[in-house]
Amino acid sequence: MRLYNTITKQTEHFEPRGDQVMLYSCGPTVYDFAHIGNLRAYVFTDTLRRTLELSGHSVKQVMNITDVGHLSSDGDEGDDKLEKGANREGKSVWEVAKFYEEAFKRDSNLLNILSPNGYTDKKRSDNYARATDFIESQLALIMLLMDKKIAYQTEEAIYFDVSQAPDYEILTKQKIEEKEVAARKEVVTDRNKRHPQDFALWFFTVGRFAGHSMHWDSPWGKGFPGWHLECSAIVHETLGEPLDIHTGGVDHIGTHHTNEIAQTKAAYDKQLSRFWIHNEHLLVNGEKMSKSLGTYYTLDDIIKKGYDPLTLRLLYLQSHYRSHMNFSWESLEAAQNRLKSLRAFADLRFQAQSQNNDSSDMFSLLIQKFIAHLRDDLNTPLAIAALSDLIDNVGQKGLSKQDLGQFEEFLKQLDDGLGLRLLDRDDIPEETKKLILEREAARGSKDWQSADDIRAQLLDLGLELEDKAAGPIWSRLS
Ligand code: AMP
Ligand code: ZN
């Protein structure tokens, strides 16, 4: 399999180091509903996992949930997003985290995103690694960095000294001095930071954070962890270093992932991950999603307009994960039509006809082609495009009974790879099938009136009929 690695800026051949692929994915900060840009990131990670599994790998995936410490900037400036959420809603931070975690899990289910499988939270009986459940591990990491004098303490925080991180620019290829210039432009809140680009590992509950409601004791004083720390600590506790693959959005490259790499290298003298894979952003009308322009959408907004959540999943998959994707309602409408035709295609398995077209080679060739596109740096647009010819071909010729086994196998691979739940729908009821046969009989005896009546009855039942040479084929209206 080939994957684009942000570290080398090249598409490389990928093999896991051991028996299982160790995959870590940066997860959501649970202070608000995920928007459709965030959700693109998780569908991308899910597609990566599915493609690895389709290629025969066993995957161990861990995803964190950030429920503390992510400030309104990705650096050390601003307020904690969770505290802001709590103030906005007049709830406690714990209530806010719980509420938006549930919303995230619901969105993930609706989009058929596989739940991570590399860690189990026994308390909550789910599979997400929450930052607040890994405080001990984060403190142990700080302790190591303090011992090595790579971390230092001011009155406000404990910082990581980036001047001591030899590979600090490994992801961005941006020199620290250049980053320093960018960092200086920001408001540097702590005058005692040694270098503006040093980042906080632990904030003390003083100054702007004096009233911070989430805090823990530490050997250096009460406080809470900085955002970047949790991922290094969770990886260390769960999958171990080096990971085979670490994923996130492109916005993580410059700060969050750069800092994760530096912490892990400095504390454990280990590379955090061999491959770094980043998804590009989603745009709306060619621009960043914006609340004030009314172009900020959640999955609920999509559902409220009557779309199946899997339509959004298909829309994501029609763009390559490393390309900007532009969301519009027109493109969602087109994806809905495409999903409908994919579902009608899958429904052909209930309507195999006895005529003798031998298409079995075609199915096995197409399965290979489909998987080959996915294995080529997750080329989902080409994998989906490759289906169009097949859909036309089978649509015209019909599915012959001898190809049914191959066809079902093909659909299973499609579902495993794309997660569109094509196989979830059952056959139509026997009575409906009888109606279709009755209509055939009426047509046979040229009783056009009865045939039309039955067609109308079937429409009421949500089925359309198309008369083909080998007999009628039904498809569902939705
Ligand atoms: P957050 O919950 O803010 O930490 O972000 C969750 C994930 O969504 C991260 O992987 C981000 O990189 C990603 N993300 C944020 N905005 C967008 C966007 N417009 N398009 C795609 N991914 C995004
Ligand atoms: Zn992370």
We find that the CATH architecture of domain 17-279 is: 3-Layer(aba) Sandwich (3.40)
Domain limits of the chain?
17-279, 299-418, 430-476
Pocket test for ligand 1, best of 25, 38, 285 (most atoms within 8 A of CB): 38
| Atom number, ligand 1, closest to the C-alpha of residue 288 | 19
Please check whether residue 348 is in contact with residue 389, taking contact to mean a CB–CB distance below 8 angstroms. no
> Is the minimum distance from the CB of 374 to ligand 1 under 6 angstroms?
no
Q: What is the number of the ligand closest to the CA of 229?
A: 2
> Is the minimum distance from the CB of 1 to ligand 1 under 6 angstroms?
no
The per-residue pLDDT for range 419-473, each reduced to its tens digit, is 999 999 999 999 999 999 999 999 999 999 999 999 999 999 999 999 988 889 9
Q: Is 66 exposed, middle or buried (0-12, 13-18, 19+ CB in 10 A)?
A: buried
Which residue is closest in CA terms to ligand 1's atom 7?
A: 38
Give residue 362's pLDDT. 83
Name residue 361's amino acid. Answer: D
Whole-number Å distance, alpha carbon 429 to ligand 2 midpoint, is 49
Pocket test for ligand 1, best of 33, 251, 290 (most atoms within 8 A of CB): 251
| Atom number, ligand 1, closest to the C-alpha of residue 250 | 12
Closest to 135 in 3D by CA, of 62, 212, 224? 224
- Mapped onto helix, strand or coil, the DSSP state of residue 198 is coil
Whole-number Å distance, alpha carbon 1 to ligand 2 midpoint, is 24
> Is the minimum distance from the CB of 38 to ligand 1 under 6 angstroms?
yes
The per-residue pLDDT for range 8-43, each reduced to its tens digit, is 999 999 999 999 999 999 999 999 999 999 999 999
User: Which two three-digit tokens encode residue 192?
Assistant: 């005692």
Query: CA torsion sign, 50 to 54 to 55 to 56?
Result: positive
Which residue is closest in CA terms to ligand 1's atom 15?
A: 38
User: Which two three-digit tokens encode residue 31?
Assistant: 């202070």
DSSP per residue, 359-398: -HHHHHHHHHHHHHHHHBT--HHHHHHHHHHHHHHHHHH-
The per-residue pLDDT for range 118-155, each reduced to its tens digit, is 999 999 889 999 999 999 999 999 999 999 999 999 99
Whole-number Å distance, alpha carbon 449 to ligand 2 midpoint, is 66
Give residue 188's pLDDT. 57
What's the whole-model pTM score? Answer: 0.94
Place of tokens 């995803």: 63
